[in-house]
Each structure stands twice: as structure tokens, then as C-alpha cells.
């Protein structure tokens, strides 16, 4: 598998990748049918997205005879982690805590995941600064870095 950091996946491509990751190997016809059923996409939309993913080396075509099979080249876990890190790289560092809080509050999380997160947070707490520094571009407007009163 290639490194997930080398592949940028668009929102629509994520839907295709989720199907390919789930099935491990899929023909274009199977994928077209799945995307039509789950997303309402036309054949050409799915074919275009699949072609893009092959060009990006996120997916590979297996075999020389039709129907071609397609398999993932990038791993799902690493791709998801990379996308999350990329998202946080695009926001003010002071907003990371509240963004993580919003994600946790909006998702169902298993007890096992909660325990792992608690352990991770307990370790991070040992070396955490009192306040994270803003990493925004210099500006006269400080509203991007306004923090909740509870965070001060």
C-alpha cells in the first residue's frame, strides 16, 4: 500500500473508496450499481470518479480482461487519519480542542474507544501547555482566536 499522505481524496471519491475498502475487490459494474443505489449517481459519474482514483494511485485495476477488478492501494485507516490531520492543519490551533469536542459529541463511540481516548488524553495532559498558541496569519482582527470562557 502507498502512503495515504500522498493521495488527496475528494468528498465524492471518499464514497467510492468506502465501497472499495469494504468489498476489497470490485468490478466497475458492481461499483456503478452500488453508487447508483446508495448515491443516485449515473454510470458516468462513478466511472469518472473511479478513473480519477486510479490516476491518483488510490485504486488499481487488476487484470487485463473485462470486467476489470479494482482494489484499494491506500489503506482506509491511514487515509481517514490523514484526512483528519489535514483538516486540523487548516484551522487555528486554538480551535482544535473545540473541534474534537464537537466530533465526539456528534458521534456514537464504543466504550473501548472511549477508554483508549481517555488513556491518550491522560498522557497528553502530562505535557500539555496551559494554552495553545494561535497559528493564524497576523491580523488586526483577533476574532479568529476568540476562546470560550471555559478554555481561559
Given a contact cutoff of 8 angstroms between Cβ atoms, the answer to whether 56 and 8 are in contact is yes
Question: For the residues of 83-122, what is the DSSP string, one character each?
Answer: HHHHHHHTS-GGGHHHHHHHHHHHS---HHHHHHHHHHHH
Query: Residue 12, Cα to own-chain centre: how many angstroms?
Result: 12
pLDDT at 149: 42
pTM: 0.75
pLDDT at 32: 96
The shares of helix, strand and coil residues in the chain, as percent rounded to the nearest 5, are 60, 5, 35
Q: Which domains, from first to last, does the chain contain?
A: 11-72 (1.10.10.10)
pLDDT at 1: 55
Residues of the chain with pLDDT under 50: 148-152
Distance CA 73, CA 149 (A): 45
What letter does residue 10 receive in the DSSP assignment? Answer: -
For CA atoms 123, 128, 132, 135, give the dihedral sign. negative
Q: 75-95, pLDDT tens digit by residue?
A: 999 999 999 898 888 888 889
Residue 54 in 3-state DSSP? Answer: helix
Distance CA 108, CA 117 (A): 14
Beta strands in the chain (DSSP E): 26-27, 59-62, 69-72
From the list 95, 96, 92, the residue with the least C-alpha distance to 136 is: 92
Amino acid at each position: 500500500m502507498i502512503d495515504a499522505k500522498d493521495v488527496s481524496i475528494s468528498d465524492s471519491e471518499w464514497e467510492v473508496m468506502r465501497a472499495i475498502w469494504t468489498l476489497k475487490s470490485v468490478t466497475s459494474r458492481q461499483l456503478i450499481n452500488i453508487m447508483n443505489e446508495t448515491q443516485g449517481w449515473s454510470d458516468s459519474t462513478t466511472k469518472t470518479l473511479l478513473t480519477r482514483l486510479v490516476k491518483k494511485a488510490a485504486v488499481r485495476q487488476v487484470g487485463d480482461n473485462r470486467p476489470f477488478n479494482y482494489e484499494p492501494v491506500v489503506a482506509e485507516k491511514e487515509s481517514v487519519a490523514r484526512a483528519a490531520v489535514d483538516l486540523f492543519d487548516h484551522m487555528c490551533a486554538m480551535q482544535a480542542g473545540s473541534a474534537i469536542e464537537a466530533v465526539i459529541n456528534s458521534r456514537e463511540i464504543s466504550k473501548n474507544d472511549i477508554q483508549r481516548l481517555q488513556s491518550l488524553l491522560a498522557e497528553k495532559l502530562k505535557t500539555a501547555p496551559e494554552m495553545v498558541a494561535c497559528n493564524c496569519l497576523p491580523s488586526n482582527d483577533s476574532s479568529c482566536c476568540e476562546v470560550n470562557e471555559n478554555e481561559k
